[in-house]
Amino acid sequence: MLDPLTARDRFPILAECTYLNSCSLGALSHDATEELSRFLARWHARGAAAWYDEWLAKLDDLRAAAARVHGAGAGEVALLPSTSAALGVVSEAVPVEGRNRVVVSELDFPTLPYQWMVKPEIEVVRVPSDDGVTVDPERFAEVVDERTLFLATSHVFFSTGAVQDIARLATIARDAGAWSLIDGYQAPGQIPADVRAAGVDLYTSGPLKWLCGGPGLSYLYVREDVIPRLEPRITSWFAARDQFAFRADTFEYREDARRFELGTPSLPSVHIALGAHRLLEEVGFDRIHDRVRTLTARLITALEAAGWSLTVASLDSRSGIVMIRHDDPSAAVRDLESRGYVIDHRPGHVRASPHFYNTEAEVDAFVEALGETRS
Ligand SMILES: Cc1ncc(COP(=O)(O)O)c(C=O)c1O
């Protein structure tokens, strides 16, 4: 086990600045760059032979690592180039068959509804947020019915950090005969994402943010019993049961989640993500979740004490994304950047997201520095 504060030394950027933007891009570790260097060295040394020596097995290693953090089986995870690609392949895997509605929420990341807004045969229904922070699951229950194909929404809202009860959402979808599809990009790595226990049908996420594994990849979880029922209408040789037979005259889907894959995954990204998963597992996800909770609570208490108005959920559905109302968020972010703070802004808000590698002192200093940006 690696102590979270000892693990700080594995992230060079933390010595250069106060990094509070992990919900956008997790920090890069030495472990990830070492794994990337190893990939490049193998490429120099072995060229294409490295596929068989090592790289095909690395793809399996990454599917397995992604499965562990999702509480899933390795055969339930596919590797895709982005969340949008994962959502797109799912949207082409389910026949409409009399159900032409997709229910989303108004707080979801736009790439989620976009998948169906471009399909004229689909009606997208947007569930409103009563408080602008979260969405009452019963609001979904009111509209998910026999016309619903998917209940498709977020695990953690990128816009407010609120955590949704995905087990309840899965039940609402199941009771109406609809599929549940959760965009979990903002969840694994900061909060538990036990997708099997939650009973969701499909779940997308990826290494980019809280898993500190960089861009170029996403993970698609498809529950074991759901896999054989879905036949994506966009596909690739990675999805073919006998991939290395190179038969162009016949096609059969694989039996596991790889049937959703769309060609050769980006190998540099695979290696970076593997190094990151290994480090985070060494720290331990329970300890990481505890640390994010502790630092977030400290940040919120300090901000409120300093008189800031926040857009955050109540304690039981809060995550490590903290939205701070600000008159001029982009100017504040620029000003703070010049003083060594990496944070972000969204309309009307400065956004801060502490991860396990941050310290209490960094959180306190950030609140102090933010106060100096007040107009
Ligand atoms: C919740 C959520 N979903 C989806 C995306 C977009 O993912 P991608 O660019 O991999 O399609 C983001 C990006 O920040 C996000 O926060």
Tens-binned pLDDT, residue by residue, of the chain (375 aa): 999 999 999 999 999 999 999 999 999 999 999 999 999 999 999 999 999 999 999 999 999 999 999 999 989 999 999 999 999 999 999 988 899 999 999 999 999 999 999 999 999 999 999 999 999 999 999 999 999 999 999 999 999 999 999 999 999 999 999 999 999 999 999 999 999 999 999 999 999 999 999 999 999 999 999 999 999 999 999 999 999 999 999 999 999 999 999 999 999 999 999 999 999 999 999 999 999 999 999 999 999 999 999 998 988 899 999 999 999 999 999 999 999 999 999 999 999 999 999 999 999 999 999 999 886
The first and second tokens of residue 252, run together, are: 């059969």
User: What's the gap in Å between 15 CA and the centre of ligand 1?
Assistant: 28
- Ligand 1: atom nearest CA of 208 is 10
Domain range holding 344?
4-28+284-371
Taking a C-beta distance cutoff of 8 angstroms, is the pair 238, 258 a contact?
yes
User: What's the gap in Å between 317 CA and the centre of ligand 1?
Assistant: 20
- Ligand 1: atom nearest CA of 184 is 1
- Ligand 1: atom nearest CA of 81 is 10
Pairwise CA distance, residues 287 & 123, whole Å: 42
Who contacts 133 (Cβ-Cβ below 8 Å, separation ≥6)? 157, 160, 162, 311, 312, 313
- 265 and 326 belong to one structural domain: no
Q: Whose C-alpha lies nearest to ligand 1, atom 14?
A: 24
Among the candidates 280, 306, 321, a domain finishes at 280
User: What's the gap in Å between 175 CA and the centre of ligand 1?
Assistant: 28
User: What's the gap in Å between 81 CA and the centre of ligand 1?
Assistant: 12
Pairwise CA distance, residues 98 & 152, whole Å: 18
The first and second tokens of residue 172, run together, are: 């609402």
Pairwise CA distance, residues 188 & 155, whole Å: 10
* Residue to mutate (ligand 1; options 89, 107, 108, 109; most atoms within 8 A of CB): 109
Pocket of ligand 1 (CB under 6 A): 82-84, 109, 111, 154, 158, 183, 185-186, 218
- 75 and 132 belong to one structural domain: yes
Pairwise CA distance, residues 197 & 178, whole Å: 18
Sheet holding 179-183, edge to edge: 77-80, 218-222, 202-205, 179-183, 148-154, 101-105, 123-127
Among the candidates 225, 258, 280, a domain finishes at 280
User: What's the gap in Å between 195 CA and the centre of ligand 1?
Assistant: 18
Place of tokens 């736009």: 110
| Residue 14: φ, ψ to 5° | -70, -15
- 217 and 276 belong to one structural domain: yes
Largest CA distance in the chain: 68
Domain with 125 in it: what CATH number? 3.40.640.10
Q: Whose C-alpha lies nearest to ligand 1, atom 8?
A: 83
User: What's the gap in Å between 110 CA and the centre of ligand 1?
Assistant: 8
- 203 and 299 belong to one structural domain: no
Tell me the residue length of the chain.
375
- 122 and 219 belong to one structural domain: yes
- 220 and 328 belong to one structural domain: no
- 65 and 150 belong to one structural domain: yes
Please tell me the predicted confidence (pLDDT) of residue 375. 62
- 44 and 142 belong to one structural domain: yes
* Residue to mutate (ligand 1; options 25, 83, 203, 353; most atoms within 8 A of CB): 83
Among the candidates 229, 261, 280, a domain finishes at 280
Pairwise CA distance, residues 300 & 322, whole Å: 7
| pTM beyond cutoff 0.95 | yes
Pairwise CA distance, residues 178 & 229, whole Å: 13
User: What's the gap in Å between 82 CA and the centre of ligand 1?
Assistant: 8
Pairwise CA distance, residues 181 & 235, whole Å: 19
User: What's the gap in Å between 204 CA and the centre of ligand 1?
Assistant: 10
Task: Provide the domain count of the chain.
Answer: 2
